[in-house]
A = this chain, B = another copy of it.
Amino acid sequence: MVAEILSIGDELLTGQKVNTNARFICSELAGAGIGVQRIIVCADSVGGIVEQFRDSLRRAELVIVTGGLGPTHDDKTKQSVQQFLERKLVLDREVYARTVERYRKSGREPSAYLRHNAMVIDGAVVIPNEKGLAPGMIISCTEHFDGHYLVLMPGVPLEMESMMRSTVVPFFSRKSGSVIVHSHIKTTGIGETALADIIGEIKETLPDGTSLAYLPHMAGVNLRVSSTGKDRGVVESDNRGVVDAIAGVAGEFVYATTDISLEELIGRMLLSRDLKIATAESCTGGLIAGRLTDVAGSSRYFEQGFVVYSNVSKEKVLGVKAETLDAHGAVSEEVAAEMAEGCLLRSGANIAVSSTGIAGPGGGTAEKPVGMVCLGLAIRKGGVGVEICTTTFYTQGDRLRNKARFSEAALRMVWKELRSSPAQG
């Protein structure tokens, strides 16, 4: 079964709103083994909507329409379906009674609009709206496209999401009978081009029904492997085979084969090793701490962070030596090492990571260009004191991209360290 999504609303065409509904619907349908071949956004105009119904139903057995069902004047969806299918509107007594009751309960006088709201396309399967007023509908288009369906839902995300999960996905899953399996391959430290080079051959020889998507982000790229078919065993084994093949050739860059962020993974590793982390940042300006604390529950392992921009604060707050700053400059592995060590000792954490670099656009030299960062890691090792390691990383981008890549490199350094130390218990 192939689907198209039709999102109706002028606000999506003027740059006012981003179409998050389509993303949600795609993701729910993918999970049900239904592929989406097109998403179309069109304006609140009956002529355009009717033309689009015809176009989309010609190509797809399932056309999911959101928007244009509410009380405002620009709601044109029911009108367009009426015109397109030449069907009547009929009062759904259950919807009417429930909305009247809801108004009464909340102390509002039932308005004339409730009757209009409860009018549905004749012959539709009505989808109750648990979160709002306008009912959804599943309409079999026997007149023009036998075996093809129009699904109407409101554009309000909460209402639409609830209808998708309670009614639409179960209804069409039963019809399709396909199995779909997605796997995620999360990488760090490699860009899209380099990764494409490494896995080129695997990509060229994917099993039938399996596809590979690159999902680039500010600091790298992730992969998703999707497999569909009728037999769950075959689908799962095809999918697993591709994931294993990629992990085999790109393993040093793969930090997870589930959909988890690097900072979430680090959080889990810290918890399972009963360790606490602290950060000492110059050029990343709090971004490493920010990413670590984006994870719910991070207060259990995030001890403390320092943002030390000036040399004075590096000395005063972290105990970096003036001689080290003089001899090597603030952007140096020597200073990164002292920052990490100072952070570790002052915070009481078990592991501390530091950054000092040049995010740009200004401040670069031939020797220390914009995009260069020195990173330090200090780790408390049982009875044997503190171990310190440092590295220098180069990238090229604007200020925000450099900060993102610097923070990714710092987290990568932490991840590699944790990976080499065993979990407890």
Interface residues of A (CB under 8 A from B): 10-20, 22-30, 35-43, 48, 55, 70-74, 102, 106-107, 111, 113, 131, 156, 158, 192-193, 196-197, 200, 203-204, 211, 213-216, 224, 226, 279, 281, 284-290, 292-294, 296-299, 302-310, 312-313, 317, 346-348, 360-363, 394, 396-401, 403
Q: What residues of chain B lie closer than 8 Å to A299, measured between beta carbons?
A: 309-310, 363
Known contacts A13-B37, A14-B224, A106-B396, A305 near B293 by CB under 8 Å: no
- Please give the distance in Å from A108's CB to the nearest CB on chain B: 10
Q: Give the interface SS of chain A, mostly helix, strand, loop or mixed.
A: mixed
Copies held by the complex: 2
Q: What residues of chain B lie closer than 8 Å to A158, measured between beta carbons?
A: 398, 401
CA distance A156 to B156 in the complex (A): 28
Whether the Cβ atoms of B42 and A27 lie closer than 8 Å is no
Closest A-B pairs by Cβ, 3 of them: A15-B27, A285-B293, A305-B307
Whether the Cβ atoms of B39 and A71 lie closer than 8 Å is no
Whether the Cβ atoms of A19 and B16 lie closer than 8 Å is no
CA distance A136 to B2 in the complex (A): 32
CA distance A19 to B307 in the complex (A): 35
Whether the Cβ atoms of B312 and A298 lie closer than 8 Å is no
> Given contacts A72-B196, A131-B397, A296-B362, could you give 15 more A-B pairs where the C-beta distance is less than 8 Å?
A15-B27, A16-B215, A16-B224, A19-B19, A37-B42, A38-B48, A111-B193, A286-B287, A286-B307, A294-B400, A296-B399, A304-B306, A304-B308, A305-B307, A312-B348
